[in-house]
Amino acid sequence: MTLSPSAFIRGAGSLLAGLGVTLKAFFQPVVTSQYPRQLLKISPRFRGHTKLLADAEDPGKNGCIACGICVRNCPSGSIVRVEGEKREGEKRKTATTYILDFTTCSQCGICVETCPSDALGFSADFNLAGYKREDFVFDLVREFEKRKEAS
Amino acid sequence: MEKIISIMGWETAKMIAGLVGVLVFVVLNALILTWAERKVAGHMQRRIGPKEVGPYGLIQPIADAIKLLGKEILTPGEVDKPLYWLAPILIFVPVLVSFIVIPFDASLQVKDINVGILVILAFSSLTVLSILMAGWGSNNKYALIGAIRSVAQNIAYEIPLLLALLPVIMMTHSFSLKAIVEAQRGLWFVFVQPLAFCIYFITSVAETNRTPFDLPEAESELVAGYHTEYSGMRFALFFLAEYTNIFIVSAIAVTFFLGGYQGPFLPGIVWFLLKSYFLVFVIMWLRWTYPRVRFDQLLNLSWKALIPLAFLNLLVTGGLLKI
Amino acid sequence: MVEKIKEELSSAIEGVEIKEANYRERGYHLFAEVASSDLLNVARFFDERGFYLAALICVDYVEYLDLVYIFSNHASLCKVKVALKIDPARPVAPTISMVFDCAYWYEREIREFYGVLFDGHPNLTYLFLHEGIDAYPLRKEKIPVSDEDKKALGAFRPEEGEDTFFVNLGPQHPSTHGVLRVVLKMDGEYIQSAEPVLGYLHRMHEKMAENRSYLQFLPNTGRMDYLGPMSFNLGYVTAVERLCGIAVPDRAHVVRVIATELNRLSSHLLWLGAYLADLGALTPFLFVFDDREQINDILEAVTGSRLTYCYFRFGGLYNDVDEAFIAGTRAFIERMRSRFSLYDKLVGGNVIFINRTRGIGVIERERARKYAVSGPVLRGAGIPMDMRKTEPCAAYGGMDFNVPVGTRGDALDMYHVRVLEMENALKIIEQALAQLPEGPIMTEKVPRKLKPPKGDLYHTVETPRGELGIYIVSDESDKPYRMKWRVPSFSNLMIFPELAKGNLLADAVAILGSLDLVIPEIDR
């Protein structure tokens, strides 16, 4: 390792420069946020699991017409079953059951895009937890009703 | 109490009290250093280190100790049992012996042996032996490679370590650590022997297997090097020995070059601890800044750069002392 | 160049019919169909003229198997497709691995997926699959693997040597950037041979592509390379648009460039952090994540995902960018420019880092060509080829940037090339933001069920790791007949065993890191 004095000084200087960077960082404030004590703002376009949106004309009903387009288009087959019925005096079907198996969903957004009645949207639920796999099979109609009662 | 002291004699009683004090200090030091390492690492990386367990994470080391104690004492099947079991215990012996001769204060030294530094240097070579026992006895390729690297590294860096300390010994005409500290009454040796201080510091980082010289436990190449097969309390022992070793080499640097326990206003032991922990901080600072040096570059650094420089320093010092 | 090759090829090899192809629709300029006996001569012909084997694809058209060789050139744009028909009942073809070293693994892959025997290949053993697979996966009908074939495929046994021992690097390892296992035969600290074992993350994306429609396959593209998903998305979407002849509005083109360059920056930043973590410095890893968080936040506000984006659609984008995105990106560019000096002080100028990477893993130009290396590795070796310049898609044609080239071909050159590419990415994003036109982001008339016209297409795109090639064969239905992904890390990894021979283990880790591999895209 034959070193010329200039190479030696340059090398030593680079080592000291590196030390300076870490020392400066030592005294600077931290850039991390202490989750869960500090919660971060979730962007409105965040892709959590899908949820049913209210019908544009009648906010009490969900907008799904149980056509089955999302079921056919889902690449992973995550939408297990959609059933609906046509109630008295209404022009179209309303969904009564919408089973989503979230364990295989890849949040691609194809169901949201292809829905002809714009009834699906993304929710902002990101901290889901459960003890068994069945905890992640959601019935979106029931979730919709629960949200309606809560508001 | 007085009866026991009168039976044993004052010297022995003082030594036993000192040994107990040293053991307590070793444990406390290990606890403080594990916390300090994680906090220093955290802040240098713009994050907080431990914070949940106790205020500022101060109880974290105790939580870690309880966790490690609670683990199953697992001995892998094909290990060489005597070597495997002895290695973590044996690695503590050199550091504990080294504590006996370090002067924490003018009157706080377990025993002032007149060949103090020779005791320390002789026993610190034994750490290599226990690392080799751990690597060979583990019956694991990664451990063996790590142990072999460590042996070569330690042997290569012992020589410049010695050569860097010799000028100071030559200037004070004594091996006793107390005498070396006392000889720095007027001027600390770091101003007289700056090159020796640098060489000593670099070699001590290599002796304790810390980055940038931490090939024996290179995490990204060899899983965990020589302590791959150790878990639970045995692993904790290796860990503690490493941190105690860091403190020892800093303490020796302070004793030889930075005036030991001398300093105005505050009591001697406070100055000693302040200076030692400052050097420990510098060692941690080095770990979190630099990447690892490759093995042949490491040996080249020792044999081709540090040893010639240390020899040169020794010759010049000897020549100047004769004039 | 194209004319010259056409003339020379037809005169050099008799009985070979060369046709010109519509480059815009097919992705290659010339098309030649050869017989088995001529294949080796054709390969030698292209080798002498400085071509490289970009891809080797097998397609199962039930009556025959088609082996497609795509030869491409570094110096000027000229792509030649050479096709060889073989009998499906007894599929045999000559090997060209002695001419082009990259064919060594391409042929092994085709052997285990299709059952094609390559005469003269030194080592036709399992690359991705294992003994439990009973039928050739990518054939259209279920053709079982005979017992003797299974034995031949499973014959890899590492040879024991006298003073040597075997060390497994991986599959669980902090430095292998994914689940890669390398069987190292070591003599003390020195490596005698390195044999990568793949397939730990094999998910059969190519078979999935044959069973899903074009839109349904789009999320899969992000999962293949999860560090540079925007570029994989871009490649796929532009390939299908080229096949179907769909035009894209200008605003969508520019936003695609911005998103892809942000992703390239994020991928190179992660490479920097991970490479230094391999070498032992753990601090730059966290500094890098600080910068990546900013990029992730910007892209999350637009696309909704942080890692596996599914943002582009056929004909445009999923949703539009807004003022907050533009302001956020501009602020990020300012901040990032000041961070480069920090990385230079901490990493680039550090004497320990320089000594660890200078002269390590030197790749010569000839070897780079034979192994079909691409991306920053190729540019580090000294060949200035960048797909964004030679075959620009989206709005890259209107962007002004230079192509950084290395001089020595070692790991330090790869580092400098990637840092310069990061600076280039910032420059491109600035130009794109200045050029961003108003208008729609999606073309009006995109059919719900895409049915591309019959034919094949070889489309390339520059990902952060190199040249991504997508070969689509369409049979007018709404599902692709065959989709082959030629991923850059696959050919980049092939050069590793040769570079690692005779080196220390620490150097092997440094070389592996400098190649910037992402194993999921190798395993698909």
Q: What is the pLDDT of residues C12-32, one digit of tens each?
A: 777 777 888 888 888 888 888
Decide the pairing of beta strands C51-61 and C316-317: unpaired
Dump the DSSP string for C151-162. Answer: HHHT---PPP-S
Do B293 and C356 lie within an 8 Å CB cutoff? yes
Decide the pairing of beta strands C80-86 and C30-34: parallel
Residue C464: predicted pLDDT: 92
In this structure, the answer to whether residues C257 and C348 fall within a common structural domain is yes
CATH code for position C116: 3.30.460.80
| Domain assignment of residue C208, yes or no | no
Say whether residue C351 is in contact with chain A using an 8 A CB cutoff.
Answer: yes
Question: Which of A11, A67, A54, A76 is closest to A140 using CA atoms?
Answer: A54
3-class SS of residue C490: helix
CATH code for position A54: 3.30.70.3270
pLDDT in tens, B138-171: 887 777 877 888 888 888 898 999 999 999 998 8
Do C280 and B44 lie within an 8 Å CB cutoff? no
**Which residues of C sit within 8 Å Cβ distance of B?**
165, 167, 173-175, 189, 276-283, 286-287, 290, 346, 350, 352-353, 355-356, 504-507, 509
| Domain assignment of residue A81, yes or no | yes
**Averaged in consecutive runs of 10 residues, what is the pLDDT profile of chain A (151 residues)?**
72 88 89 84 86 83 86 89 81 86 89 88 86 90 87 77
Do C305 and A107 lie within an 8 Å CB cutoff? yes
> Number of B:C CB contacts under 8 A?
77
C319: left (phi over 0), alpha (psi -120 to 50) or beta: beta
Residue B222: predicted pLDDT: 52
Say whether residue B6 is in contact with chain A using an 8 A CB cutoff.
Answer: no
Question: Which of B52, B36, B32, B54 is closest to B44 using CA atoms?
Answer: B36
Q: Where are the domains of chain B?
A: 2-322
Give the residue-averaged pLDDT of C507-519: 88
pLDDT in tens, C315-371: 888 888 888 899 999 999 999 999 998 998 888 888 889 988 888 889 988 999 999
3-class SS of residue C398: helix
| Domain assignment of residue A138, yes or no | yes
Question: Which of B99, B179, B106, B195 is closest to B170 using CA atoms?
Answer: B179
Say whether residue C219 is in contact with chain A using an 8 A CB cutoff.
Answer: yes
Mutate to test the interface with B, among C294, C352, C412 (most CBs of B within 10 A): C352
Q: Which structural domain, as residue segments, surrounds residue C508? A: 213-516
Residue with tokens 């999350």: C300
Measured between beta carbons, the chain B residues lying within 8 angstroms of C356 are 291-294, 297
Residue B218: predicted pLDDT: 60
Q: pTM to 2 decimals?
A: 0.91
Measured between beta carbons, the chain A residues lying within 8 angstroms of C302 are 45
In angstroms, the CA C352 to CA B53 distance is 37
Give how far C287 is from chain A: nearest CA, Å: 10
Query: How many C-alpha atoms does C502 have within 13 Å on its Cβ side?
Result: 5
Do A30 and B48 lie within an 8 Å CB cutoff? yes
Whether residue C206 contacts residue C479, with contact meaning beta carbons closer than 8 Å, is answered with no
* Neighboring chains of A (3 or more beta-carbon pairs < 8 A): B, C
| Domain assignment of residue A33, yes or no | no
Query: How many C-alpha atoms does C1 have within 13 Å on its Cβ side?
Result: 14
Give how far B274 is from chain A: nearest CA, Å: 19
- The DSSP call for residue C361 is S
Residue A3: predicted pLDDT: 63
| Domain assignment of residue A29, yes or no | no
Do C283 and B221 lie within an 8 Å CB cutoff? no
Measured between beta carbons, the chain A residues lying within 8 angstroms of B288 are 22
Decide the pairing of beta strands C92-94 and C117-119: parallel
Whether residue A63 contacts residue A132, with contact meaning beta carbons closer than 8 Å, is answered with no
Residue of C nearest to B213 (CA): C280
Do C506 and B221 lie within an 8 Å CB cutoff? yes
In this structure, the answer to whether residues C133 and C231 fall within a common structural domain is no
* Nearest neighbour of B46 by CB, restricted to A15, A25, A34: A25
Question: Which of B92, B74, B72, B90 is closest to B30 using CA atoms?
Answer: B92
| Domain assignment of residue C158, yes or no | no
Measured between beta carbons, the chain B residues lying within 8 angstroms of A31 are 46-47
Measured between beta carbons, the chain A residues lying within 8 angstroms of B301 are 1
Residue C175: predicted pLDDT: 62
The number of folded domains in chain A is 1
> And the tokens for B114?
């007149």
Question: Which of B321, B175, B318, B196 is closest to B253 using CA atoms?
Answer: B196
In this structure, the answer to whether residues C10 and C107 fall within a common structural domain is yes
* Nearest neighbour of C345 by CB, restricted to A21, A75, A106: A21
Residue with tokens 């770990």: B287
More confident residue, C462 or B294: C462
Chosen domain end from C153, C180, C200: C153
Sheet (strand C17-20) strand order = C17-20, C30-34, C80-86, C64-73, C51-61
In angstroms, the CA C56 to CA C369 distance is 15
Measured between beta carbons, the chain C residues lying within 8 angstroms of A43 are 297, 300-301, 304
Residue C264: predicted pLDDT: 93
Global ipTM: 0.88
Residue B219: predicted pLDDT: 52
Measured between beta carbons, the chain A residues lying within 8 angstroms of C346 are 17-18, 21-22
pLDDT of residue C507 exceeding 60: yes
Residues 93-132 in A contacting C (C-alpha not used; CB under 8 Å): 106-110, 113-114, 122
Q: Which structural domain, as residue segments, surrounds residue A114? A: 50-150
Do A75 and C217 lie within an 8 Å CB cutoff? yes
Question: Interior CA angle at C334 toward C333 and C337, to 5°?
Answer: 80
pLDDT in tens, C123-175: 888 888 888 888 888 888 888 888 877 777 777 777 777 778 787 877 777 66
pLDDT in tens, C434-452: 988 988 888 887 777 888 8
Do A22 and B288 lie within an 8 Å CB cutoff? yes
Alpha carbon distances (Å) from C12 to C1, C4, C30: 16, 12, 15
List of residues 6+ apart from B79 with CB closer than 8 A: B137, B138, B139, B229
| Domain assignment of residue A3, yes or no | no
In this structure, the answer to whether residues C486 and C342 fall within a common structural domain is yes
| Domain assignment of residue A37, yes or no | no
The number of folded domains in chain C is 2
In this structure, the answer to whether residues C42 and C118 fall within a common structural domain is yes
| Domain assignment of residue C196, yes or no | no
In angstroms, the CA B249 to CA C331 distance is 47
3-class SS of residue B289: coil
Do C353 and B46 lie within an 8 Å CB cutoff? no
| Domain assignment of residue C62, yes or no | yes
Measured between beta carbons, the chain B residues lying within 8 angstroms of A37 are none
3-class SS of residue C404: coil
Residue A1: predicted pLDDT: 47
pLDDT in tens, B243-290: 898 999 999 999 989 888 888 888 888 889 999 999 999 999 998 998
> And the tokens for C331?
């602020």
Residue C481: predicted pLDDT: 92
Mean pLDDT over the full length of chain C: 88
Measured between beta carbons, the chain B residues lying within 8 angstroms of A23 are 44, 285
Residue C268: predicted pLDDT: 94
CATH code for position C501: 1.10.645.10
